[in-house]
Amino acid sequence: MKYDVSLELENREESYSFGDVAKQANGSAWIKSGKSVILATVVINETEIVKDDFLPLTVQYIEKTYAAGKIPGGFFKRETKPSDFETLTSRIVDRSLRPLFPKGFGHPTQITIMVFSADSESDLQVLALNAASAALFTSDIDINTSVSAVRTAKVDGELVINPTLSQLKNSTLDLYLSGTKDDLLMIEMRTFGGEEVEVSEMIIDPMLDPTMSGAVISSHVSNAMSEDELIEVFEKTQAELFLANSKYEEAFASSQKAILPLDLKAHISNAEMMTYVRDTHMSEIKDAMNQMAKSERSTALRTLRKKILKLKEEWTSVELEVELKDAIDKVKKDEVRAQILNDNIRADGRALTEVRPITIDTNILPSAHSSCLFTRGQTQALVVLTMGGSKDAQMFESLTDSGTQNENFMVHYNFPGFSVGEASPVMGTKRRELGHGNLAKRALSPVVDLEGQTVRLVSEILESNGSSSMATVCGGYMALKAADIETSDTIAGIAMGMVSENGKYAILSDIMGLEDHDGDMDFKVTGSKEGITAMQMDIKLGGISLDILKKALYQAKEGRSHIIDIMLEAESKIEFNDGVLPSVDFFHIDPSFIGEVIGQAGKTIREMIEKFEVAIDIDKKDGKVKITGKNKSGVSGARGHIEGIVNAPKKEKVKYEVGEKHEGTVKRIVDFGAFIELPDGTDGLLHISKISEQRVDKVSDVLSEGEKISVEILEFKGNKISLGRV
């Protein structure tokens, strides 16, 4: 393969070939970095223009298993549905490139990104966006701006630009920025635990759950990042991002195709209608704005349109009715934005920094392990938690992994149509649902220490008027606490918005659906009172300055603190579902006592398992004990029993001699005799032939467990003592 361009970037080299493959596409870019090879193509339908007011762009990121020398697992030996990573990567590329297209672009456009070769250190999400942008930039579509991505990690306290995957695994920060040489377009950020310790556990007793053998325990410490520190990281990352785009545009300019003449959708609002609506029906527009639910607002605007058509019969043609609908929507949008910018008044009357009323109800589902109904304004999430063991973890294998991985903390987000008043069936998981669930997981995972457990959170959105993903974060945290799961900090989420015109802007806290639709920014921030654990930002304007971003971050911190105070109050009132909530306890014992806890042939530990209805997992090396049971009483009982064994005063071992006589206790009766406990706790075997001078057919006929008898030391066989009855 002949490469047209090779670029030296921070910690990475990229080589590009244009036009050598996929020649019938409108644009294509073959990129090689390390041992990774990716092809990105752009194809548009020149003859079709979608009339709806949206950009018909589809992005597909596809990984081929042969790229890593693998054959697909499962029954079907070919690639089937996309993995979560593929879906999330497609979404990242879409969100980054969508702002490039000019207003009125209505031609269906398909961007396909295929991974043909992958090495274990390549950041495929960064390379995917860079390849797609290069294909778009050099295509015959009139787009002359490069978009690229830069990822930043923090390893051993030092920032690393474009880290390898090995470095990222040891990082406390994962920041993904995409943008042009002038503006930031998208942010994905999360933090990891400050320290992670892995301990391999081994099941001691064969009676225990064999599926728990070899479980890995990961211990995370909260590592939320402060706003000041994050802004500093943004500045350094953005500088590298802008430099990279300047290099791309200069290097790719000679490979650009001749521009294809395309018609854009003409979007000209009917000035006469807008003036009429503004002059005669503004009060009804404002009434519709006050209908906060999307369905109610749509009904109010539709009713207004019908009313106007009765008054203006000359506007009853199909074309003019569409123009009237557009005029009403435009007047409504202008009024929403004007009230915010000029009067600092939002459609629902809130101040710019005000959070909607919040109510929190925990454990409202008696048969679930835990649950939380989190309501903020007209957004409501029912988050339900289920606990399991290591065998319940989600198995997955990514292209760059050497083997199968286990995910023991899952957050699943569902958004049924009824939550926004739509009559639509419940279908499979969409990209948006997967993305919102992934954001909530990133927000909560830094503060959760699952110690070999598996936890699944499911967020059912029952009503939505903005910020349902942040309701999932808050409800998810409360569900964790309602399951008595330990966390290192309290985490909440808030969605921020912005309205900007003519150099004037306003930052909005806890945006509702109307402000998301008619505003210029959707900025989701999660974290504690001290710092941020995850964030996600999309800009509709074409970019955002760091000064505005800094103000939004500090305003988000105030909102989070307010929400956390409400959550802490609700946490103090939690009543656990003790009847169904599983319980897990971890503690350490002196490894020298493990033999006594297990007992001879596992008798002691089996008795505890049966008596307390628990599973007991012991690490022989460091004495770590894990007890899992159906309820707290069983787990605490088993722990007390083990601690009783460990803390009991040790009897000093007696050195016995052949011929000595001692009083012992019948500990256990077997077919061939009885085990007798001697004064120091040592067991000796009284064979059936040594019990009496007369023949004994059944030991239990002459001895009973717990009986005191006199015995004589007959002989030693290794560590075993043979006894005779006196």
Choice between 438 and 264, residue whose per-residue pLDDT is larger: 438
The stretch 233-257 carries a mean pLDDT of 93
- For residue 216, what pLDDT is reported? 32
Tell me the pLDDT band of 627, cut-offs 50, 70 and 90: confident
- b/e per residue 312-338 (b: at least 16 CB within 10 A): eeebeeeebeebbebbbbbbbeebbbe
Checking if the pLDDT of 21 tops 60, the result is yes
- For residue 136, what pLDDT is reported? 96
- For residue 422, what pLDDT is reported? 84
> Topology of domain 583-647, per CATH?
Ribosomal Protein S8; Chain: A, domain 1 (3.30.1370)
Sorted by where each begins, the domain ranges of the chain are 5-191+223-255, 271-343, 358-571, 583-647, 661-725
CA dist 222 and 194 (Å) reads 6
- For residue 213, what pLDDT is reported? 31
- For residue 400, what pLDDT is reported? 78
Could you tell me if 634 and 612 are in contact, meaning their C-beta atoms sit under 8 angstroms apart?
A: yes
CATH number of 661-725: 2.40.50.140
Checking if the pLDDT of 427 tops 70, the result is yes
The stretch 84-101 carries a mean pLDDT of 93
- For residue 133, what pLDDT is reported? 97
Checking if the pLDDT of 175 tops 90, the result is yes
Structure tokens at 237: 């990352």
- Using CA atoms, how far residue 592 sits from 589, 655, 681, in Å, is 8, 20, 16
- Using CA atoms, how far residue 285 sits from 45, 220, 291, 324, 341, in Å, is 38, 51, 10, 13, 18
Write the CB contacts of 593 (distance below 8 Å, at least 6 apart in sequence): 623, 645, 646
5-191+223-255 and 358-571: identical CATH topology: yes
Mean pLDDT of the chain: 87
The stretch 691-708 carries a mean pLDDT of 87
Read out DSSP for 39-106?
A: EEEEEE-TT----SSS--EEEEEEE-GGGGT----SSS-S--SPPHHHHHHHHHHHHHHGGGSPTT--
Checking if the pLDDT of 335 tops 80, the result is yes
State phi, psi for 713 to the nearest 5 degrees: -75, 115
Tell me the pLDDT band of 268, cut-offs 50, 70 and 90: low
If 0-12 CB within 10 Å is exposed, 13-18 middle and 19+ buried, where does residue 236 land?
A: middle
Please write the tens of the pLDDT for every residue from 448-480: 988 778 999 999 999 998 889 999 999 999 999
Give the sign of the dihedral formed by CA 244, CA 247, CA 251, CA 255: positive
Structure tokens at 160: 């690393």
CA dist 541 and 710 (Å) reads 94
CA dist 162 and 159 (Å) reads 10
Highest mean pLDDT among 37-41, 52-56, 287-291, 673-677: 37-41
- Using CA atoms, how far residue 337 sits from 304, 347, 435, 528, in Å, is 20, 9, 28, 31
Please write the tens of the pLDDT for every residue from 590-615: 888 888 888 877 888 998 999 888 88
Checking if the pLDDT of 140 tops 50, the result is yes
Tell me the pLDDT band of 301, cut-offs 50, 70 and 90: confident
HEC readout, 15-37: EEECCCCCCCCCEEEEEEECCEE
User: What percentage of residues in the chain have a pLDDT greater than 70?
Assistant: 93
Classify 358-571 by CATH class.
alpha beta
The stretch 561-584 carries a mean pLDDT of 92
Written as one letter, the residue type at 30 is W
| Of the listed ranges 13-22, 236-245, 416-425, the one predicted with least confidence | 416-425
Could you tell me if 555 and 526 are in contact, meaning their C-beta atoms sit under 8 angstroms apart?
A: no
CA dist 275 and 500 (Å) reads 23
- For residue 631, what pLDDT is reported? 78
CA dist 455 and 474 (Å) reads 16
Choice between 461 and 320, residue whose per-residue pLDDT is larger: 461
Tell me the pLDDT band of 159, cut-offs 50, 70 and 90: very high
Could you tell me if 210 and 615 are in contact, meaning their C-beta atoms sit under 8 angstroms apart?
A: no
CA-atom Rg of the chain in angstroms: 34
Q: How big is the chain, counted in residues? A: 726
Structure tokens at 561: 């603190």
| Of the listed ranges 162-176, 243-257, 308-322, 410-424, the one predicted with least confidence | 308-322
For the chain, counts of helices (H) and of strands (E):
15, 31
Highest mean pLDDT among 123-137, 398-412, 670-684, 692-706: 123-137
Please write the tens of the pLDDT for every residue from 681-697: 788 889 888 888 888 88
- Using CA atoms, how far residue 577 sits from 386, 477, 482, 582, 603, in Å, is 12, 17, 8, 9, 33
- For residue 473, what pLDDT is reported? 97
- For residue 32, what pLDDT is reported? 96
Strands 583-588 and 624-629, sheet pairing: antiparallel
DSSP class of 417: G
Structure tokens at 163: 């880290």
Checking if the pLDDT of 700 tops 70, the result is yes
Write the CB contacts of 43 (distance below 8 Å, at least 6 apart in sequence): 25, 26, 109, 110, 112
- For residue 428, what pLDDT is reported? 81
Angle between helices 431-444 and 84-97 (to 10 degrees): 100
Checking if the pLDDT of 376 tops 90, the result is yes
| Of the listed ranges 217-221, 438-442, 654-658, the one predicted with least confidence | 217-221
Choice between 214 and 255, residue whose per-residue pLDDT is larger: 255
Checking if the pLDDT of 126 tops 50, the result is yes
Please write the tens of the pLDDT for every residue from 177-231: 999 988 888 899 999 864 443 333 323 332 333 333 333 333 444 578 999 999 9
The stretch 369-373 carries a mean pLDDT of 96
CATH number of 5-191+223-255: 3.30.230.70
- For residue 508, what pLDDT is reported? 94
The stretch 249-259 carries a mean pLDDT of 93
- For residue 205, what pLDDT is reported? 32
CA dist 257 and 28 (Å) reads 11
- For residue 143, what pLDDT is reported? 92
Cα-based angle 542, 544, 546 (whole degrees, multiple of 5): 160
Please write the tens of the pLDDT for every residue from 142-157: 999 999 999 999 999 8
| Of the listed ranges 107-111, 155-159, 209-213, 506-510, the one predicted with least confidence | 209-213
CA dist 496 and 477 (Å) reads 20
Tell me the pLDDT band of 501, cut-offs 50, 70 and 90: confident
- For residue 620, what pLDDT is reported? 81
- b/e per residue 274-299 (b: at least 16 CB within 10 A): bebbbeebeebbeebbebbbbeebee
- For residue 212, what pLDDT is reported? 31
